[in-house]
Amino acid sequence: MKRREEMTFWERLYVIEITKGVIQTSSDLIKHLVQFLLQVVGLNKTAKPWATFEYPDEARPYAPRYRGRHRLTLNEEGSVRCTACFLCATACPADCIYIEAEEHDSGEVEKFPNRYEIDTLLCVYCGYCVEACPVDAIRMDTGIHPEIYPPDPRAFIEDKETLMKRSRILEDEGPEALFKRHMARIRSIEKNPYLAGY
């Protein structure tokens, strides 16, 4: 973009530019006010009368490609698919994935994560962990934005069981159920942030 270095004589007077700004703002205000009033009395049905959403009672739909809350995917028998290769933790720019690996009993898989944690307060939701995983063991396709926890930083660390449970709910009950649980949790935290269970 080429920046204009010099102002014209009329621009340097400012009065004209300020007047133009006031006219523009006032005309936008009047235009939107008229649109709102027409919608309220039912003469304009193209949209709802206000642009805001009553969150959390009303949620704006996310784009299908939205990358939200993490989950650890499961094998057919319900066990964690992760093989504790540490590629996600290595790729993570926020250094917020903690894994403790353990040897697997089966001869097919060498290791599994005895402990797998994501500190969601540090996470920047870049999706690099998902990209790095060679076995599709971690996804961010839950369609829900990051979880809200009570005001204690420790509560924001999501462990293996939490991340696996999300996959179970998604598989057994669908994305709507996951979203409903999320909303119920928000409401309970709103009512009593310090007593809500983690």
Binding site for ligand SF4 (CB under 6 A): 82-88, 91-94, 96-97, 99, 118, 123-129, 132-133, 135, 137-138
DSSP for residue 80: B
Residue 3 CB, nearest approach to ligand SF4 (Å): 35
Q: Where is 23: in which H helix or E strand?
A: helix 15-40
Contact in structure between 157 and 119 (CB atoms under 8 Å): yes
Residue 83 CB, nearest approach to ligand SF4 (Å): 5
Residue 8 CB, nearest approach to ligand SF4 (Å): 48
Collapsing DSSP to helix, strand or coil, 113 comes out as: strand
Give the CA diameter of the chain: 81
Nearer Cβ to ligand SF4 (59/94): 94
Residue 95 CB, nearest approach to ligand SF4 (Å): 8
Nearer Cβ to ligand SF4 (68/150): 68
Relative to beta strand 97-103, strand 138-139 is unpaired
Nearer Cβ to ligand SF4 (87/189): 87
Residue 58 CB, nearest approach to ligand SF4 (Å): 27
DSSP for residue 110: S
Nearer Cβ to ligand SF4 (161/190): 161
Nearer Cβ to ligand SF4 (112/196): 112
Contact in structure between 118 and 158 (CB atoms under 8 Å): yes
Rg (CA), the chain: 25
